[in-house]
Chains A and B, each alone.
Chain A
Amino acid sequence: MNIKNNIKLYLNTIYRSYTMLLALIILIALASILSHSFLTVQNITNIFRQVSVMGCVALGMSFVIIGGSFDMSVGSTVSLTGILAISLQPIVGVFWAMAISLIVGVSIGLINGTIITSINGTQGDSFIITFGMLTVIQAVALIITKGFSVPGSNNKSYIFIGNGDIGVIPFSIILFVVSAIIMQIFITKTSHGRNIYYMGANSEVAKLIGIKVKFYKIITYMISGAMAAVAGFILTARVNGAAPKAGVNLEFEAVTAIVVGGIGLKGGEGTLVNTIIGVLIMGVISNAMNIIGISSQNQLVVKGIILIAAVCVDIRKKGIMGEG
């Protein structure tokens, strides 16, 4: 009886952590049946290439969500940092253009985090505040560019970020994967990462055991801002040009991927493995919809429905495990 129970418990854990992986595999199988051009090396690298921008955004945002807050400002942060990276290049050179953009991304995170921690904001507050920030940064991006696109860089190494390959593997994918690995190790294996989890699980308890809650909250936003800047580089390098609205909807797509991957919105749960699975699921769905020829408006409808469904599942899961 005991053994049977233990096996049940074990299967349950496996089931919990791998349902979304299973969903991904089923999706891939489905897509390959629907279209024989899906499961080709070229299309698969294509998917990765497409998701690397949103993927980087989602990785950074995962830190914030695990820490118990939201960062909805990332969409326009991607736009702004992309614009800066491109338009500053003729003036200060590639290195400094990128460095400044990165600093801007991190600073946006710093501002977000500082505002939220200084008012002792709740998770809901963080949603609204960063949402406000989304609008502000979007406006700044429009003001800087006067609403026009910025023509691309002629620096080969910059373009390499978005279009280059190392061997057969696109550099942007390597950038995404390497970031993911480093960030995953940081959050799951280090004391700082663990403190972010404790903060997300219950910031009151975390405070009372001496964790610098404000510090860690700000750090998560800074990481999110930095990853948005990286996404900005990849995006502008790939299409070789920056537009003030290039990042629109990225925050929405990233949240969708995170929730679909199974990171609980309450905070203190899940790892970046969830994020990666969620990003790939969304990537496969987009790609499949493109191949089948679904219009971009209709794709948005589908993605919106997926987000709503994923949130419902997340809440239901809590309901079942919740009160004791």
Chain B
Amino acid sequence: MAKLDNLLTPRGDTMCDYLLKIQNITKKFPGVVALDDVSLYIKKGEIFGIVGENGAGKSTLMKILYGVYKNDSGQIFLDGKELKNLTPLIAQKMGMSIIFQEFNLLSTLSISENIFVNRLSFKNRIFVNWNVLNKRAEELLESIGYTMDVKRLVSSLSVAEKQMVEIAKALSFNAKLILMDEPSATLTNKELDKLFKVIETLKKQKITIIYISHKLDEIFQICDTTAIFRDGKVVDTKKTSLFTKNEIIQKMVGRTVENEYPARTKINFDEEVLRVNNLAIKNKINDISFSLKKGEILGIVGLVGSGRTELVRAIFGADKKISGDIFINGIKRSIKSPQDAINLKIALLTEDRRGQGLFINYSIEKNISSTIIKKISKRMFINTKLETIIAKKAISDLKIKCTSEKQTMLNLSGGNQQKVVLAKWLVSEPDIFIMDEPTRGIDVGAKYEIYVLMNSLTEKGKSIIFISSEIQEVLAISDRIIVLYGGKINGEFQREEIENDKIMKHAIGQ
């Protein structure tokens, strides 16, 4: 404790060195202590990393700082002034902006409207000057490496694109303190590099950033100081360079993790379970053919906008295809709707958990059973006892942190919501499991367990199509990889040939 104090308290420094002082914050929700006496001191112009397991309290702290939740006790000082009765509007006026972990975009509005929502009025003007706003929105997006028609509706964007809009929005406030709650969760390396460049520029302008991520490499790359959260408490804070990766993991999850990825034994795959021939989707996918073998993990790699998600959605029958044939176990099948796909024992875990994956106001239990409601019913009547048993088992198998299986999804942390999405498809026992960003927002320890789970699924003869923006994990656990670029397959690699650089080159179109 004494050692910690040396690093934590502002002793010796002049008070004004700290832009943000968080002192003894406690926050309780029914049944959980989300934050337990948390104190952090954040310097002006610093990039301050926060890491911690799913449900450790990171997002809760961000929401308190931004006035979404009220702390039960403790104080917050910004520039030496105590913040009391904070609301998001006041926080904004005080010079803060935030990227929420779960997006807060209005899907029926355009990109630029979303970026400038609530701030459309100008001095001496009655009408909004859209030309100026659209141009500004374009510039903001371009600064993070993303060119896009800003008049497009947000509802038509992919998760990564929505993430970009959220980032642009947070940047548009010219805030002095930016809170970033897992901004990189769905970005690929290319977009991430751009984001880091922007962050470096902001740092030079003495803008302070709190950066939350489960990808520890990022933390080492950009954060000056890092705090580790565990069960609502700060277990350590120091200069990031003084940490080792293992030390962080150990302090996060309370045990050491030997390897980031489990070993994957090589098997010979012969039986073909899925074959896609000449698939095309309007404006997105151009003549794609590939196959998936029994027991195989097929990785799909590609930048944001390369058509990864569109490809699997079309296979699953969620989007229309222009042409293309799909063979399941050698038989040609017409998959016109998700229902057709599910009947053929195909599952699609969608990348957008809020919009497409979860009934956010329903309980964990009702979400998990949603895929098997017919199976757990007898003559129409739902066997609710069985429903509870299945939910309880999934909660303990995947270590979902919750107060009970009756807790509503809305009150779960982001990573735990993601685990429920995974659980609801696992209980349906598909033969072909398409996973689009299955580990989005999941902590280091739990990720490992998901990889183990994927291994054991394939050992049981299931096949997996695995999409992730985190190229390392695709490389580490896939048996074969196809690389998408601009709606086409631009390279295919067997496990032995997998190399990061080579694959990235194909992903950017070389």
Contact = CB atoms under 8 A, between A and B. Distances in A.
Bin chain B's interface residue count: 35 or more
A269 B380 contact: no
Interface string A175-206: 00000000000000111101100100110110
Given A9-B31, A208-B356, A268-B361, A191 B380 contact: yes
Contact of A190 (B356, B366, B380, B410): B380
Contacts of B339: 210-212
Q: Point out which of A198, A210, A323 has the most chain B C-beta atoms below 10 A from its C-beta.
A: A210
A211 B361 CA distance: 18
Contacts of B381: 189-191
B411 interface: yes
Nearest to A191: B377
Contact of B30 (A9, A190, A212): A9
A120 to B, nearest CB: 13
B235 to A, nearest CB: 22
A15 to B, nearest CB: 14
B388 interface: no
A124 to B, nearest CB: 11
Interface string B352-372: 000111111110001000110
B359 A198 contact: yes
Interface in B349-399: 350, 355-362, 366, 370-371, 373-374, 377, 380-382
Nearest to B349: A208
A191 B382 contact: yes
B102 A268 contact: no
B338 A204 contact: no
Contacts of A210: 337-339, 341-343, 371
B31 A190 contact: no
Interface of B is mostly: mixed
B411 A205 contact: no
A138 B357 CA distance: 42
B377 A190 contact: yes
B28 interface: yes
Contacts of A208: 316, 318, 338, 348, 350, 356-357
B27 to A, nearest CB: 12
A317 to B, nearest CB: 11
Interface string B146-188: 0000000000000000000000000000000000000000000
A189 B382 contact: yes
Q: Point out which of A189, A208, A268 has the most chain B C-beta atoms below 10 A from its C-beta.
A: A208
Contact of A5 (B30, B104, B357): B30
Interface in A304-324: 321, 323-324
30 contacts: A2-B31, A5-B28, A5-B31, A6-B31, A8-B30, A9-B31, A191-B374, A191-B377, A192-B380, A194-B373, A198-B373, A201-B361, A202-B359, A202-B360, A204-B356, A207-B338, A208-B316, A208-B338, A209-B338, A210-B337, A210-B339, A210-B341, A210-B342, A210-B371, A212-B339, A268-B361, A269-B361, A321-B410, A323-B104, A324-B102
A-B residue pairs, 5 tightest by C-beta: A210-B342, A191-B377, A9-B30, A210-B339, A190-B380
Given A207-B338, A209-B424, 6 more contacts: A9-B30, A190-B381, A191-B380, A209-B342, A211-B339, A321-B361
